[in-house]
Structure 1
Amino acid sequence: MLLRSCWKSRHKNSPGPAPCCWIRPGLAALLWLCVTQLACGTGAVGETKNVVQKDAEFDVTYNDTVTSENQTIYAFNHTVSRNKTEGVHVSVDVLSQGLESPILFVVRQKQAVLSFQVPLILRGLYQRKYPYNHVGRTLCQPPTRAASETQYFFVDVSTLSSQGTNYQLRVSRVESFTLQTDKKFTFTASPSQPQYFKYVFPDGVDTVIVKVNSDMNFPCSVMSIQDIQCPVYDLDNNVAFIGMYQTMTKKGAITVQRKDFPSNSFYVVVVVKTEDEACGGPLRFYPLRPDELIDAGNRTKILDVMVSPAIDSKVYVMGMLFCLGIFFSFYLLTFLVACMENKRMKKRREVFQIPADMSPAETGNPATSSDADNGSTLSSEAITDSATSTDNNYGYMERSLDSVGRSRQESLSSVEEDDYDTLDDINSDKNIVRTKKFLCVSDLARKDKRVLSKKYQIYFWNIATIAVFYALPVIQLVITYQTVVNVTGNQDICYYNFLCAHPLGALSAFNNILSNLGYVMLGLLFLLIVLKRDIVHNRALVRNDLNALECGIPKHFGLFYAMGTALMMEGLLSACYHVCPNYTNFQFDTSFMYMIAGLCMLKLYQKRHPDINASAYTAYACLAAVIFFSVLGVVFGKGNTVFWIVFSVIHILATLLLSTQLYYMGRWRFGKITSTLNTDLSLLVFQDRMVLLVMGNIVNWSLAAYGLIERPNDFASYLLAIAICNLLLYFAFYIIMKLRSGERIQCLALVCILFTAVVWGFALYFFFQGLSTWQKTPAESREHNRDCILLSFFDDHDIWHFLSSIAMFGSFLVLLTMDDDLDTVQRDKIYVF
């Protein structure tokens, strides 16, 4: 019916050639002309319009006027070569202001039709309208099979305005339309004048990285990689329809693989956005009227583009071998140290003699055999200190040590320690022992070790259960993230270092995932070291080795197993986070860091307080609360005053509560010291503990004040900083008190401490390089991107992964070996601090 209507209108008003259409042979041409008449005519189908066709030439500016009664068609032809691609650029200026109706430009090519109006109306946030009177568009270049071919295209100009509108039209060739490898090309773009260029993969190159740079932060831009096809989506409102794209301010980079483009070529499209909010720029004012047009101002941006070959398969292999080699070397070094240690232990057992300072219990005196069995003998000095620091009404001096002890045979039970206290002391005896001015490990290692071992093994089984239930949904989620990125092409979803993001298969940044292998391998190695020590200790107990029974820090390995498992899970979850690092999944990377910091502090405390350390359920409940606040801080913490006030108050109250618990060894109830503590037990009795707690309160109150005043955007890192500061403070206090108590640090532990401190220093240097940040927009994050610095495969953050995993492993070894010097010292001569 449309064809019939157009045909009737053609013959109704004129017996000659149709005045309303320019006729080309063929049915398709007739259909196009009729549609043009319906869309651009001044009224009904039957109205007449003067159509003028002009043979036009390239690089000539045509000044003309268009009204609703006339239509101008410019006919161009050019020769297309199969071996050389030249772009064609159409530039239009409308010289009249306050147009009643826009001018419509329609470019008809062999395989595509491009249409746009001038003024070009582009929409921004909240549908704000920005008019552009100067428009420039590049025509897509359909491929040709012939060696040389002449192609025609036509530019139709029409309007519905009854008033004459002046315009300028210029069509020119783009000589540098095809990009060359490793050659920088500079160009200018604006919202109404987008630019795109063609790149063809050279032989032997399967992957390239496209880099677009600018010295100007704003206006905000979009960089897109699209397949060779028509039309090319090169406007702000359609550039995200196809291919891969990312916003940018100064830097943009996309890695492109040949396998994704069957034609072995692609377009690099650069579009300047109408507004800057997507790149973190200011929000412009809201228009007073819905139809109000906003002056966009000068939004021209100068950019340069360069395409470089990416790394080949050899670099991937070298990177993987380097990563495996580093961490397998630790296995080899551990094996050599273990061999040397075994030889030393054999020699030691051969020349073993009973120490001269053995107590009667350790020499087999039957008068105190029950105390020897229990491992809780108290030195005369400790008894004297206790008697002078407590009320005489308790009659501690008259109390027989036999009433405090309990044989191992009687303490074997399957009942959990939390359900049944294995000490037969009444509460007053606990108060007497735990509130002595000078405590020894024997005072706080009175419960049966096998019951305590079961208690501390719960740490391992609980964290293993948590790991399974935490990791599975995380893995599923990040796979979904990666799939969305690959399907939509939206590279603003993930905050990679795009200048050093090497894809492998479906993964966009394989190098960031591979570098987390160290956490897993070193965590497994630590578990093997702990297992070896556990086996050696159990064998010593079986053969009734007196040193294992009565000397040294009590050996409980449950927390060590939990620490090794947490390190492995940190590697797994960090790898999951780096599959697609962004604002919504950052807690995956930090959750087990909180776990590691908490477990290390618990282990430090357990060394001298094995009887009164927190249970696994209490500890993990507290860590769950920390992770809960971490999630709340990420979601609601940014600029939320109420949240920061509540968190700071909770932080300070928790610090005071924990300080009181540590100071009185748990012998208090709701802020009131139990009745066993008299007025002589003032806050100055336990001076060493008081120094630690005062320093801890100063640090934590300062951190709380900093958070309340500054309100850092990265709440998860702020919370992690609190945990690390407390761990370092307690560790420093432990080392100082150990040396102050006359103890020494053996060579192996000293080497571990020095090595770990140096590695931590280098690790933190690379951590603070900040190659990306999800606290800002994706475009602002890309400003921090930098090239690879190690083997052309690893960046600064990968090196942080390497060094931090080694430093954590070293820190665990320090905790494991730092008290080895006490293995032959009686527990009633080891001070508690």
Structure 2
Amino acid sequence: MVLRSYWKCRLKSSCFPAPRWIRPGLAALFWFCVTQLVCGAGALGETKSVTQKDAEFDVTYNDTVKSYNQTIYAFNHTISRNKTEGVRVTVDVMQQHLESPILFVIRQKQAVMSFQVPLILRGLYQRKYPYKHVGRTLCQPPTRAASETQYFFVDVSTLSSQETNFQLRVSRVESFTLQTDRKFSFTASPSQPQFFKYVFPDGVDTVIVKVNSDVNFPCSVMSVQDIQCPVYDLDNNVAFIGMYQTMTKKGAITVQRKDFPSNSFYVVVVVKTEDEACGGPLRFYPLQPDELIDAGNRTKDLDVVVSPAINSEKYVIGMLFCLGIFLSFYVLTLLVACVENKRMKRREMFPNPPDTSPAETGKTPASPYEYGSFADNGSTLSSEAITDCATSTDNNYGYLERSLDSVARSRQESLSSVEEDDYDTLEDIDSDKNIVRTKKYLCVSDLARKDKRILSKKYQIYFWNIATIAVFYALPVIQLVITYQTVVNVTGNQDICYYNFLCAHPLGALSAFNNILSNLGYVMLGLLFLLIVFKRDVTHSRALLRNDLNALECGIPKHFGVYYAMGTALMMEGLLSACYHVCPNYTNFQFDTSFMYMIAGLCMLKLYQKRHPDINASAYTAYACLAAVIFFSVRGVVFGRGNTVFWIVFSVIHILATLLLSTQLYYMGRWRLDAGIMRRIVYVIYTDCIRQCSGPMYIDRMVLLVMGNIVNWSLAAYGLIERPNDFASYLLAIAICNLLLYFAFYIIMKLRSGERIKCLPVVCILFTAVVWGFALYFFFQGLSTWQKTPAESREHNRDCILLSFFDDHDIWHFLSSIAMFGSFLVLLTMDDDLDTVQRDKIYVF
């Protein structure tokens, strides 16, 4: 009692601290006596009474507490090694306005838990929320004995000089141990968290803990913690240990037995004091820094279910299924190659005579003098208008010489049958590109004048540049996502990554192996496309070596550099998409979209290159433009949300870039961007539109560019008005719309020009269109979105739909990789019908 009075006196402001010269021992005791005399006899006379009461479960105790009165409630219960019972302590304080809190200390075997009532919980910006009704569940220390009686004590004390009423009730928790596949319902609040125990049954190594609620708010946190004391079950400490995630309506965590040595774990559910973490509104600021804010009613009804996850057999089936789908394309390609090889050998054994003109075969293109006009004209070409290249053989040189002579004669006859007034008769018509490219009707031979070796090297740079970009891009990406995954595994914070948690199957250190595996199609089909291109490249090179007429004079000029770049980009899309899905979030979205922009850009460049091989953009220019697109993509996601200035700047740049590109395409690059550009524009408008009111010289190009400008200006206006949150998808939609528009224009103009599409590309077009339709359906299912908070993203999570292993987004990966591969095949084979047509008879559009 003397020692207690000493410490009590030390707490009073009138007591004196001991000087530094006082040494421990008798001198300290002497100084204590002096301070007791100074503090007054009241300090010695005021003693604190301690009362211990034997208490029972499920009994409500109404009592009072004061500064000099401490009450201890003693409980005992019998626990067994094979049965776990939860114990819950519930406390209520009667007073509405309490200046001094009541301290409750619960002492049990191997653990001590304390809390004050009212319980003060802090929110964002250190807002304070008091709770007068508190309920806590006691942790269960393990026992080695078959049965053991354990005691625990509830100490109640306060520093208030006034009596304070409280209620205390200790009860057993029913269904404290969760059963597999059995739903359990409960209610939680910030001051009354709940946790339950789950024990892994025999033969189950992985389970999924699912917590559901019918309402979004209040925001909650679910956590999985090891069996230990204390249990971190308050808003301010639930993130200290284990795995945790915020939730509104849905929450799911996959738990593996190997992570819990005791073969059991706690499922903890805490209701947060504020809703900002789940996307809710931000509450008002308190008027005073220490002002207490009424939290209101923040109880939430929830359900918890623990279900076994898939076993190793499902993993094997999923991997074999994925490999089987894409290996079947290798087998199908091999079969088609064998059939084509047999057909070519049959042609070599029975060489056909030179192909007749389209007019004689019934395939009549539009007249070259009416080409470029959409007017209805029924005129047809004579049999002398177009002469196809002769088909060469490997060992018939005499036939090759006769074919060359026939080609020369057919060209002279074709030229002699045309009036001279229809052609510019300047001497430099065949050398000056300013004259050649401004002709009203162009053929591929007009834009294929450069040396083939120079062009081949020019377009090979596309491949080498994208290979270099891929290496330097992929290495830091892989390093970064490994760091992300490590942080998730170490901290347990599952709000970092936006998975579909209801269908996220871990493997090793990876949290969602199925989302990574489904990207295998991009890599395998990209490699297959490279092999197909390599086969065509080798065949074409051999034809050039033997001076084959079809390779030298006929068809679309064969340049494979862009094709190699496309195949490499498809493989890199698979690799980087897999890296993105290691930990998908808004900070690494560009891993998944960067090569999508490149694929769209390369496809448009390849379409343009087919008919304009001499004037296509260089690799450096093309990749510089794509780098600018990726730059805007990053800026748009990070700073574009609700930023008016950014959207205005982007829309202006979008429109200006569209106009510049339109001018470049319309004039075939024969214009200059300098100080006199505005003067020339005004002059052209005055002379062609006002003075003469003449129509455009290049009708087809003008139609394409007008439609392209309408589409792009509409997209720019939509972005400026709506300001979509997903800027990356918006930018990708712009690229896809332009690609589809140009592709449709190419097909229409090809058919209008009297060209035909062979069976293989027709099949590829139809097949690809169907696959793209299904792929987009699964893409727009939206199983998660990093545009919202992690808790809101989990509201879109859904169970697996394919083999209990793949979800909707995995199917999107499957179908989109197949659709991209089919689209590449369409570009590769679309002009195979022109392989025996002279280039000066193939129209440019």
Q: TM-score range by the shorter chain?
A: 0.7 to 0.9
- State the shift of 1:5 in Å: 9.0
- State the shift of 1:378 in Å: 17
1:738 to 1:352, Cα distance in 2 relative to 1, 3 A: farther
- State the shift of 1:350 in Å: 2.2
CA contact (8 A) 1:62 1:169 kept: yes
Matches within 5 A, 1:589-738: 589-669=592-672, 672=680, 685-738=697-750
CA contact (8 A) 2:387 2:410 kept: no
- State the shift of 1:435 in Å: 1.5
1:48 to 1:328, Cα distance in 2 relative to 1, 3 A: same
**What CA deviation, in whole Å up to 9, does each residue of 1:450-496 have, x standing for no partner?**
11000000000000000000000000000000000000000000000
CA contact (8 A) 1:208 1:308 kept: yes
Q: Give the distance between the partners of 2:397 and 2:507, measured in 1 at CA.
A: 73
1:138 to 1:395, Cα distance in 2 relative to 1, 3 A: same
Aligned to 2:169, what secondary structure does the other structure show?
Answer: strand
- State the shift of 1:191 in Å: 0.1
CA contact (8 A) 1:382 1:439 kept: no
CA contact (8 A) 1:371 1:405 kept: no
CA contact (8 A) 2:122 2:236 kept: yes
Q: Give the distance between the partners of 1:96 and 1:418, measured in 2 at CA.
A: 107
Aligned to 1:668, what secondary structure does the other structure show?
Answer: coil
1:557 to 1:404, Cα distance in 2 relative to 1, 3 A: same
Aligned to 1:676, what secondary structure does the other structure show?
Answer: helix
Aligned to 2:267, what secondary structure does the other structure show?
Answer: strand
**What CA deviation, in whole Å up to 9, does each residue of 1:267-324 have, x standing for no partner?**
0000000000000000010101001100000000000000000000000000000000
Aligned match for 2:552, one of 549, 573, 588: 549
Q: Give the distance between the partners of 2:187 and 2:683, measured in 1 at CA.
A: 82
CA contact (8 A) 1:370 1:405 kept: no
- State the shift of 1:403 in Å: 23
CA contact (8 A) 1:377 1:442 kept: no
- State the shift of 1:385 in Å: 21
- State the shift of 1:432 in Å: 1.8
**What CA deviation, in whole Å up to 9, does each residue of 1:630-650 have, x standing for no partner?**
111111101000000000000
Q: Give the distance between the partners of 2:176 and 2:837, measured in 1 at CA.
A: 81
- State the shift of 1:672 in Å: 3.8
Aligned to 2:523, what secondary structure does the other structure show?
Answer: helix
CA contact (8 A) 2:210 2:251 kept: yes
Q: Give the distance between the partners of 2:642 and 2:435, measured in 1 at CA.
A: 50
CA contact (8 A) 2:81 2:147 kept: yes
Q: Give the distance between the partners of 1:139 and 1:328, measured in 2 at CA.
A: 56
Q: Give the distance between the partners of 1:424 and 1:318, measured in 2 at CA.
A: 71
1:361 to 1:700, Cα distance in 2 relative to 1, 3 A: closer
- State the shift of 1:71 in Å: 0.7
Q: Give the distance between the partners of 2:334 and 2:31, measured in 1 at CA.
A: 81
Q: Give the distance between the partners of 1:273 and 1:768, measured in 2 at CA.
A: 32
CA contact (8 A) 1:551 1:827 kept: yes
CA contact (8 A) 2:394 2:546 kept: no
**What CA deviation, in whole Å up to 9, does each residue of 1:13-70 have, x standing for no partner?**
9999999xx9999999999999999999999799510111111110000011111110
CA contact (8 A) 2:5 2:47 kept: no
CA contact (8 A) 1:656 1:697 kept: yes
Q: Give the distance between the partners of 2:762 and 2:136, measured in 1 at CA.
A: 69
- State the shift of 1:428 in Å: 8.5
CA contact (8 A) 1:224 1:270 kept: yes
Aligned to 1:168, what secondary structure does the other structure show?
Answer: strand
CA contact (8 A) 1:374 1:406 kept: no
Aligned to 2:236, what secondary structure does the other structure show?
Answer: coil
1:811 to 1:397, Cα distance in 2 relative to 1, 3 A: closer
Larger mean CA deviation between 427-436 and 771-780 belongs to 427-436
- State the shift of 1:431 in Å: 2.0
Larger mean CA deviation between 380-389 and 207-216 belongs to 380-389
1:777 to 1:223, Cα distance in 2 relative to 1, 3 A: same
Name the count of aligned residue pairs: 822
1:499 to 1:386, Cα distance in 2 relative to 1, 3 A: closer
Aligned match for 1:354, one of 342, 348, 352: 352
1:393 to 1:433, Cα distance in 2 relative to 1, 3 A: farther
Residue segments in structure 1 that go unaligned for 5+ positions in a row: none
TM-score after normalising by structure 1? 0.87
Aligned to 2:28, what secondary structure does the other structure show?
Answer: helix
CA contact (8 A) 1:221 1:248 kept: yes
CA contact (8 A) 1:235 1:271 kept: yes
- State the shift of 1:429 in Å: 2.4
1:236 to 1:593, Cα distance in 2 relative to 1, 3 A: same
Aligned to 1:307, what secondary structure does the other structure show?
Answer: strand
Q: Give the distance between the partners of 1:666 and 1:255, measured in 2 at CA.
A: 58
Residue segments in structure 2 that go unaligned for 5+ positions in a row: 363-371, 673-677, 689-696
Larger mean CA deviation between 354-363 and 787-796 belongs to 354-363
Aligned to 1:8, what secondary structure does the other structure show?
Answer: helix
CA contact (8 A) 2:389 2:550 kept: no
Match of 1:745 in 2: 757
Matches within 5 A, 1:322-471: 322-345=321-344, 347=345, 349-350=347-348, 356=354, 429-471=432-474
Q: Give the distance between the partners of 1:447 and 1:514, measured in 2 at CA.
A: 45
Q: Give the distance between the partners of 1:244 and 1:206, measured in 2 at CA.
A: 17
Q: Give the distance between the partners of 1:209 and 1:533, measured in 2 at CA.
A: 50
- State the shift of 1:436 in Å: 1.4
1:791 aligns with 2:800: no
Aligned to 2:44, what secondary structure does the other structure show?
Answer: coil
Q: Give the distance between the partners of 1:413 and 1:60, measured in 2 at CA.
A: 114
- State the shift of 1:333 in Å: 0.3
CA contact (8 A) 1:594 1:723 kept: yes
CA contact (8 A) 2:580 2:589 kept: yes
Aligned to 1:674, what secondary structure does the other structure show?
Answer: helix
**What CA deviation, in whole Å up to 9, does each residue of 1:591-640 have, x standing for no partner?**
00000000000000000000100000000000010001111111110100
User: How much is the aligned-residue C-alpha RMSD, in angstroms?
Assistant: 8.8
Aligned to 1:353, what secondary structure does the other structure show?
Answer: coil
CA contact (8 A) 1:496 1:509 kept: yes
1:86 to 1:389, Cα distance in 2 relative to 1, 3 A: closer
1:354 to 1:363, Cα distance in 2 relative to 1, 3 A: farther
CA contact (8 A) 2:190 2:234 kept: yes
1:155 to 1:39, Cα distance in 2 relative to 1, 3 A: farther
1:385 to 1:573, Cα distance in 2 relative to 1, 3 A: closer
1:13 to 1:154, Cα distance in 2 relative to 1, 3 A: farther
1:568 to 1:87, Cα distance in 2 relative to 1, 3 A: same
1:383 to 1:46, Cα distance in 2 relative to 1, 3 A: farther
- State the shift of 1:386 in Å: 23
1:442 to 1:619, Cα distance in 2 relative to 1, 3 A: same
- State the shift of 1:118 in Å: 0.3
CA contact (8 A) 2:66 2:161 kept: yes
1:28 to 1:311, Cα distance in 2 relative to 1, 3 A: farther
Q: Percent identity?
A: 90
1:673 to 1:285, Cα distance in 2 relative to 1, 3 A: closer
Aligned to 2:683, what secondary structure does the other structure show?
Answer: coil
**What CA deviation, in whole Å up to 9, does each residue of 1:485-523 have, x standing for no partner?**
000000000000000000000000000000000000000
Aligned to 1:288, what secondary structure does the other structure show?
Answer: coil
Match of 2:692 in 1: none
CA contact (8 A) 1:121 1:132 kept: yes
CA contact (8 A) 1:376 1:442 kept: no
Aligned to 1:388, what secondary structure does the other structure show?
Answer: coil
Larger mean CA deviation between 589-598 and 434-443 belongs to 434-443
CA contact (8 A) 1:374 1:407 kept: no
1:38 to 1:284, Cα distance in 2 relative to 1, 3 A: farther
1:712 to 1:412, Cα distance in 2 relative to 1, 3 A: farther
1:771 to 1:3, Cα distance in 2 relative to 1, 3 A: farther
Match of 1:267 in 2: 266
1:435 to 1:370, Cα distance in 2 relative to 1, 3 A: closer
- State the shift of 1:356 in Å: 5.0
- State the shift of 1:175 in Å: 1.8
- State the shift of 1:438 in Å: 1.3
Q: Give the distance between the partners of 2:39 and 2:320, measured in 1 at CA.
A: 66
Larger mean CA deviation between 696-705 and 666-675 belongs to 666-675
- State the shift of 1:370 in Å: 34
1:356 to 1:110, Cα distance in 2 relative to 1, 3 A: closer
Runs of 4+ off more than 6 Å: 1-19, 22-46, 357-364, 369-428, 673-680
Aligned to 2:353, what secondary structure does the other structure show?
Answer: coil
TM-score after normalising by structure 2? 0.86
1:3 to 1:201, Cα distance in 2 relative to 1, 3 A: farther
Larger mean CA deviation between 396-405 and 710-719 belongs to 396-405
